[in-house]
Amino acid sequence: MARKIVAGNWKMNLLPDEGYQLIEDLSNFCEGNKLDNVEVVVSPPFIHLAKAAEMTAHSKLTISAQNCSDQLSGAYTGEVSVEMLKAAGVNWTLIGHSERREYYGDTDEFVNGKLKRTIEAEMTPVLCVGEVLEDRKAGKQEEVVASQLKGALAGFSADEVKNMVIAYEPVWAIGTGETASPEQAQEVHAFIRKYLTQTYSAEVANAVSILYGGSVKPENAKEIFGQPDVDGGLIGGASLKYEQFVKLIEIGQ
Ligand code: PEP
């Protein structure tokens, strides 16, 4: 069965000292509570990562990057490679978040290249997919998600896909306060699981955790996380506040 994961995406928020304080508090929470059924992940900005990984080296809290380069090394100004992340003690990264796709040109081809680097480096990528409002209104969410999965996963073996995490994040629900209903989330999660079964195998489909993301808060998480194909959440805004994120971890476990 897919593992349960509650992951926070800090985006471009929190100055280093604020971030380290939150890491310390979350790390203490994870140590002080029996979190046998959930993996807790946080994705701070690049500049916090090395220290955050050092602080959590012996903790149950996992540190993830928000992005990585599709290139190994060289003349790629502003990029950070998977080898650099690994050297800093970071073994997870988000890939293809909708904000990267919308503002920084992360096409499916780029996403595929980034995924290749993470799998070669034996990291855990969290592949983000999801449709924009226009596609949802046209009932094209499954078509869009299938096309993103096809592009992102091109060339990967079943064993490689098994080591990935997928986050379904409808773009219209990210940072908008608008959440997909539990039924809408379940429908697309079930579709993703079916896609993985048909493209790879039932074993792969059952091994891959599929997280929901989009304005998840303690008030709506119980119903969303309770859906049969929802294996946890990728949380933006509410992961910046200790009390809210801890409640979400408790609900996710
Ligand atoms: C996200 O950034 O992945 C996200 C889901 O954000 P929010 O929870 O703020 O909608």
Mean pLDDT of the chain: 97
Cβ-based burial of 58 (10 A; exposed 0-12, middle 13-18, buried ≥19): exposed
- In whole angstroms, how far apart are CA 202 and each of 152, 187, 199, 205? 19, 18, 9, 5
Percent of the chain residues topping a pLDDT of 70 = 100
From the list 39, 99, 131, 169, the catalytic residue is 169
Residue 178 has pLDDT above 90, yes or no: no
Q: How confident is the model at residue 127 (pLDDT cuts 50, 70, 90)?
A: very high
215 close to ligand 1 (CB < 6 Angstrom) = yes
What is the separation of C-alpha 239 from the centre of its chain, rounded to a whole number of angstroms? 13
Per-residue model confidence as pLDDT tens digits over 12-67: 999 999 999 999 999 999 988 888 899 999 999 999 999 999 999 999 999 999 99
Residue-level length of the chain: 253
Cβ-based burial of 137 (10 A; exposed 0-12, middle 13-18, buried ≥19): exposed
236 close to ligand 1 (CB < 6 Angstrom) = yes
Q: What is the pLDDT of residue 33?
A: 86
35 close to ligand 1 (CB < 6 Angstrom) = no
Per-residue model confidence as pLDDT tens digits over 149-177: 999 999 999 999 999 999 999 999 998 88
Please give the ipTM for the structure prediction: 0.97
126 close to ligand 1 (CB < 6 Angstrom) = no
Q: Is 169 a catalytic residue?
A: yes
Nearest to 46 by CA among 25, 27, 68, 24: 68
Phi, psi of 225 (to 5 degrees): -65, -20
Model pTM? 0.97
Q: What is the pLDDT of residue 60?
A: 93
Percent of the chain residues topping a pLDDT of 90 = 94
Residue 135 has pLDDT above 90, yes or no: yes
Which of 216, 225, 241 for a ligand 1 pocket mutation test, highest count of atoms within 8 Å of Cβ? 216
Q: What is the pLDDT of residue 1?
A: 87
Report CA(130)–ligand 1 centroid distance (Å).
Answer: 12
Q: Which atom of ligand 1 is nearest to the CA of 217?
A: 8
The response to whether 215 counts as a known ligand-binding position is yes
